[in-house]
Amino acid sequence: MTQVPHFISGRRVEGTSGRFQDVYNPVKGEVAAQVPLASVEEVENAIDSSQQAFAKWSTTNAQRRGRVLLKWVDLINENMDELATLLSNEHGKTFPDAKGDIQRGVEVVEFAAGAPHLLKGEYSTAAGTGIDVHSLRQPLGVVAGITPFNFPAMIPLWKAGIALAAGNTFVLKPSERDPSVPVRLAELALEAGMPEGTLNVIHGDKTAVDALIEDPRIKAIGFVGSSPIAQSIYMGAAKHNKRAQCFGGAKNHMVIMPDADLEQAADALMGAAYGSAGERCMAISVAVPVGEATADKLVELLRERIDKLTLGPSLDESSDFGPVVGKDAKERIENYIGIGVDEGAELLVDGRGATVDGHPNGFWVGATLFDRVTPDMRIYKEEIFGPVLCIARAADYEEALRLPSEHEYGNGVAIFTRDGDTARDFTTRVEVGMVGVNVPIPVPIAYYTFGGWKASGFGDLNQHGTDGLKFYTKTKTVTTRWPSGAKEGASFVMPEGS
Ligand code: NAD
């Protein structure tokens, strides 16, 4: 059985803990490899290695670091097809979608290569008599990233790209469900000129994560995954005196106003709800048509489109979406569909029991559509993380605005309308971190920041963009007076600023 290795100090390292987890090919429904689950000692070795690399990498000038990052981008692009195939085979998303996963990560590394500009400090001359003040941003040291299965390239690149550009060294603990791409990315970083140990990859479960949280040499934790784990890691990091940004689950709504282009809204919903089998933190899982006539028309348009959808193998060009990641995910999603029926929602399209010719054991769940879902139902409140779209009809705009605003999660939201006033009011008042106007999945580009509100994000700084640089650096402020400055003798009062 193939073993996906750790990647430490510039080489592939076999696991020694004796604990392994199966990695599946979700199209075949078969075990394709095994991934080692690290012991505390193995995690400590990875941290040692990154600690040693820190001295060299943090003192390499920022522009040279940027050049290494740009070379890394080149190598990722040169190996794009291989990486995307590997990603599809372990995750189940289609090949073009896997390329998109990698590309959105690469864009953040490109942005991070501009770190010399972003790391510049502040300077004030003559802040007092003969006194100058300046501030600088310094790397934290060794930092850790703990990332989810659903974007095995993008999210590691978001975190490592910015952290490395700022001069930190990085220990990545990727999802154990699709661990191969992160290892290849680290290999390519080495090939690009990153010193050994600058980017280490250690696989594992709670044991590895706890070791990272508890080790005093780890100075920051960047996490993305489900909300309960995000919250517990955030609390654990605080307990161990380290900064953390922990992003969690989602229940993203899309409001469709009566004046919207309904054909366009229906097309947008199809991709946003069923693309990547709904396994995106920015997937739309709740559609909120305003008014009965809008809802009835939208349902008609969605049904027509769902009939034409192709569920199929990830590497098959005709597939609109592929299988879900695992048997447990398939069971969880199908169980939620049953719960929705029991709760009284109207099941218009049932994706349970979907099959694909030639792949009888694949983890297939077909597109599912519920109508007349209400806020008290579990299928409305909880994250299903599969190809299940719930329609929650709203009587008017105010009700449609309240639904995402009052939901426990607050990752992304969209409004489809032709009316600028309505769009402006919505973007101003809605209690959600990322908002799209006629854009169903408003994932901010690299030079803006990404982060949800409420149970979707714990911590005060978002990912990538300038927030990312702030998160991965600490500010030092230097107040200077040279001997030729004013000589006042000893002073026993607090000096004033002016
Ligand atoms: P997950 O929470 O199961 O796992 C995420 C990471 O945490 C993995 O590396 C995993 O090994 C680790 N982990 C799992 N259980 C742990 C435990 N008990 N203690 C410590 N670490 C543990 O999430 P997932 O299933 O891999 O990913 C899907 C989830 O991620 C969804 O909820 C999705 O909405 C969310 N997500 C959020 C964002 C965002 O930016 N908000 C982006 C992508 C995914």
- Distance (angstroms) between ligand 1 centre and the Cα of 163 equals 20
Contact 202, 173 (CB under 8 A): yes
Tokens found for residue 156: 């590691």
Q: What is the DSSP string of 167-180?
A: T-EEEEE--SSS-H
Question: What pLDDT does residue 1 have?
Answer: 87
Q: How far apart are the C-alpha atoms of 299 and 391, rounded to whole Å?
A: 9
Distance CA 87, CA 220 (A): 27
Q: To test the ligand 1 pocket, which listed residue (209, 247, 381, 384) has its Cβ within 8 A of the most ligand atoms?
A: 209
Distance 109 CA to ligand 1 centre (A): 22
Using the mean position of ligand 1's atoms as its centre, give its distance from the Cα of residue 110 in Å.
Answer: 25
The amino acid occupying position 437 is V
HSE of 327, CA atoms in CB hemisphere, 13 A: 9
Give the atom of ligand 1 at the shortest distance from the alpha carbon of 177: 26
Secondary structure in 3-state letters for 386-450: CCEEEECCECCHHHHHHHHHHCCEECEEEEECCCHHHHHHHHHHCCCCEEEECCCCCCCCCCCCE
Amino acid 498: pLDDT: 58
pLDDT (mean) for 398-415: 98
CA–centroid distance, residue 62 to ligand 1 (Å): 32
Q: What is the pLDDT of residues 433-481, one digit of tens each?
A: 999 999 999 999 999 999 999 999 999 999 999 999 999 999 999 999 9
Residues at CB less than 6 angstroms from ligand 1: 146-151, 173, 175-176, 205-206, 209, 224-226, 229, 247-250, 281, 383, 385, 411, 452, 456
The predicted-structure confidence for 55-104, as pLDDT tens digits, reads as follows: 999 999 999 999 999 999 999 999 999 999 999 999 999 999 999 999 99
Rounded CA gap, 309 and 305, in Å?
7
Query: Which residue's CA is the closest to the ligand 1 atom numbered 21?
Result: 206
Phi, psi of 392 (to 5 degrees): -115, 105
Ligand 1 atom at minimal distance to the Cα of residue 411? 41
Smallest CA-to-CA distance from 272 within 295, 302, 249, 314 is with 302
Active site residue 281: yes
Q: By mean pLDDT, which of 168-172, 424-428, 489-493 is the weakest?
A: 489-493
CA angle in degrees (0–180, nearest 5) for 103-109-110: 85
- Domain layout of the chain by residue ranges: 6-248+456-478, 252-437
Helix axes 154-165, 95-112, angle to 10 degrees: 10
Distances (CA, A) of 168 to 221, 373, 474: 12, 47, 11
**How large is the average pLDDT for residues 36-42?**
98
CA of 152 to the centre of ligand 1 (A): 11
Per annotation, catalytic residue among 87, 273, 281, 373: 281
Q: How confident is the model at residue 490 (pLDDT cuts 50, 70, 90)?
A: confident
pLDDT tens figures, 247-306: 999 999 999 999 999 999 999 999 999 999 999 999 999 999 999 999 999 999 999 999
Q: What share of the chain is helix, strand, coil (3-state, %, to 5)?
A: 40, 25, 35
Residue owning the nearest CA to atom 26 of ligand 1: 148
Q: Counting beta carbons within 10 angstroms of the beta carbon of residue 28, is it exposed (0 to 12), middle (13 to 18) or buried (19 or more)?
A: middle
- For tokens 């947008």, name the residue: 268
Question: What is the Cα–Cα distance from 217 to 46, expressed in whole angstroms?
Answer: 11
Nearest CA to ligand 1 atom 42: 281
Residue type for 8, please?
I
Distance 439 CA to ligand 1 centre (A): 25
- CATH fold of 6-248+456-478 reads Aldehyde Dehydrogenase; Chain A, domain 1 (3.40.605)
CA-closest residue to ligand 1 atom 30: 225
Which backbone phi and psi does 19 adopt, to 5 degrees?
A: -105, 135
Question: Are the CB atoms for 256 and 286 separated by under 8 Å?
Answer: no
Q: CA dist 271 to 5, 261, 265, 345, 378, Å?
A: 35, 16, 10, 23, 24
Distance CA 213, CA 453 (A): 23
Instruction: Give the pLDDT band (50/70/90) at residue 489.
Output: confident
Evaluate if residue 488 carries a pLDDT over 70. no
Mean pLDDT for 35-41 is 98
Options 3.40.50.1820, 3.40.309.10, 3.30.1360.30, 3.30.70.520; which CATH number does 252-437 get?
3.40.309.10
* Closest ligand 1 atom number to CA of residue 247: 41
pLDDT band at 487; cut points 50, 70, 90: low
Q: What is d(CA 416, CA 134) in angstroms, rounded to the nearest whole number?
A: 47
Please identify, by atom number, the ligand 1 atom nearest to the C-alpha of residue 456.
Answer: 41
Name the residue with the closest Cα to ligand 1, atom 34: 249
Cβ atoms of residues 202 and 8 within 8 Å: yes
Best mutation site among 172, 227, 235, 281 for ligand 1 pocket (most ligand atoms within 8 Å of CB)? 281
8 A C-beta contact, residue 109 and residue 77: no
pLDDT at 220 over 90: yes
